[in-house]
Structure 1
């Protein structure tokens, strides 16, 4: 099959943070990625900015530069559009390409709220393009392994599960200027929608969806200083309306490996954990044993664990023994930076034609996550 012709939105030379450069580009420029994808265009805020990025990343003079989403959407030589910009520009940036019937890959969150996400999903269904949202932890090997353990019945049916998590970013009384938008929930990008959002997606992917649930959210530190990232000088004082503590308790839907009435309890907060305590501990209690998954890098299991183990341990109630279950990246993933590995797997699955069934998330499934988060953030 010929390589998929892809256009990248948000690959910037000057951005303070570049998820497109850190997580997408390494795979696309690898030998494996080049066999499956060809970068044919970039869209940035201006055509000149796109051209500078093309030159900076040495993508080649034949890669087209665009400053208009409508011009990109009109390019017949683009098959797939990938968007990795700030979430509050997703809608306007990708809508023209969806309207044109192109396949679209959008980083999570899909849009700044459930309503706009649903509009994009409805339009994509109407126009017929394939869609993917970057909830890539579903295909991270540690999560794939946990799901396979549950399906094998190694601990019997799940009777309850609980998570204690903290994000390593933020949590104090200051935030860097580049992330100041995390303090305004209207923007749609913040620790609840991003760190908690990624986490609750892979939890539900593994143990199933809530049948019923109740949430409690709190803003522990509303007054925040916006500081210069280099000098730490205070630039402004802002009142945050984004919760920094989230607690959700609910009953899971029963399944072949989840018992009737099983509970999922989640406690999440911003900021580092108490010294000596891991920022992510997930236990799954079964009829015959339990599984524990932990991470030194918090909730970002598939994207930010380079050099840090993510152990999976199984406690067998009958024998009292605890053993560690091995998991590993595929050989080709090992050659990529950690942030590009699960993203790369997603690209592989998309190239092979798999979307939802292969662990990738379509727009419609992402809308369900948005609905859950909006109900919590906008009660």
Structure 2
């Protein structure tokens, strides 16, 4: 190790480190509470990768520890910093398509169909709570809800040497705050060859926005992204340019995380623990409504 860095083998000792300014948690979901709980209690600045703990009780405890620790800055990597999401929100809020009447989202990608990669078997084990719903769907419904708000929504199989008991497919039907319906369909596995991994439509009174990309995780990866706006009055289709920033040279996985770190350095809160609680409560309700027992 260089420049006098110190390694800690215990979260409690890390929390006591006098020279520790920021604690970043990217461990398996089921270990979030144990990993950063002591640092939150000690008042350290903390960033936790999504989701916030493995369950609603975990998230509530993390939020309680954050408040107990005082003025610590507690964030989660946020899609609000992604240039694409900023542009989509600008298009919707800016009335380029008028009042939103409907939105549909369809995507495919990631793991968790017939197999998972060695080393991430936890994606197929329900008790670990790191799966298609909590991670992939959590990220996607987050950027979905940043662009257009949703307020309502109406058995395992054997793989290799363990029993997989997490979901492969998600369907969501919801209602926007203005009463317009939305639909969402997502499955794990590879997209159909030469077909976009996401087809997202936002239909308004004056026009429609169409978003497509190689994979559906557009808040993190920006491969093959295209945004088109159909103006009903002129009957023209315009391709929208997404603004670039100085992080374009980084690997795709690092770009939005880099934006979070940049915001932290400037003292900007893009996504607090309180924000994350809204998503955790939504996922908890969704699973309970569908007969899942969340521990």
* CA 1:224–1:175: 2 relative to 1, 3 Å: farther
Aligned counterparts of 2:171 and 2:115: Cα–Cα separation in 1 = 23
> Which of 200, 208, 211 is the equivalent residue of 2:151?
211
Q: TM-score scaled by structure 1?
A: 0.73
Q: Is residue 303 from structure 1 mapped to residue 220 from structure 2 by the alignment? A: yes
Q: Is residue 198 from structure 1 mapped to residue 139 from structure 2 by the alignment? A: yes
Q: Is residue 316 from structure 1 mapped to residue 250 from structure 2 by the alignment? A: no
Question: In proportion to residue count, which structure has more strand?
Answer: 1
Aligned counterparts of 1:309 and 1:271: Cα–Cα separation in 2 = 18
Aligned to 2:199: 281
> Which of 177, 180, 187 is the equivalent residue of 2:121?
180
Aligned counterparts of 2:115 and 2:272: Cα–Cα separation in 1 = 35
Aligned counterparts of 1:319 and 1:196: Cα–Cα separation in 2 = 36
Q: Is residue 251 from structure 1 mapped to residue 175 from structure 2 by the alignment? A: yes
SS at match of 1:101: coil
Q: Is residue 337 from structure 1 mapped to residue 279 from structure 2 by the alignment? A: no
**8 Å contact from structure 2 (residues 199, 210) kept in 1:** yes
Q: CA RMSD in A?
A: 1.5
Aligned to 2:190: 272
* CA 1:177–1:337: 2 relative to 1, 3 Å: closer
Q: Unpaired runs of 5+ in structure 1?
A: 1-54, 227-235, 254-259
- The alpha carbon displacement at 1:177 in A equals 2.9
**8 Å contact from structure 1 (residues 302, 339) kept in 2:** no
* CA 1:201–1:364: 2 relative to 1, 3 Å: same
Q: TM-score scaled by structure 2?
A: 0.93
> Which of 252, 258, 264 is the equivalent residue of 1:350?
264
| Larger displacement relative to structure 2 (149-158 or 174-183) | 174-183
- The alpha carbon displacement at 1:61 in A equals 4.2
Aligned counterparts of 2:85 and 2:3: Cα–Cα separation in 1 = 40
* CA 1:140–1:261: 2 relative to 1, 3 Å: same
* CA 1:224–1:179: 2 relative to 1, 3 Å: farther
Question: Counterparts in 2 of 1:27-176, with a 5 A limit?
Answer: 55=1, 60-128=2-70, 129-134=72-77, 136-171=78-113, 173-176=114-117
Aligned counterparts of 2:64 and 2:181: Cα–Cα separation in 1 = 32
Aligned to 1:294: 212
Q: Count how many residue pairs are aligned between Structure 1 and Structure 2.
A: 288
Aligned counterparts of 1:315 and 1:125: Cα–Cα separation in 2 = 47
Aligned counterparts of 2:158 and 2:88: Cα–Cα separation in 1 = 38
SS at match of 1:186: helix
SS at match of 1:323: strand
**8 Å contact from structure 1 (residues 168, 279) kept in 2:** no
Aligned counterparts of 1:123 and 1:252: Cα–Cα separation in 2 = 33
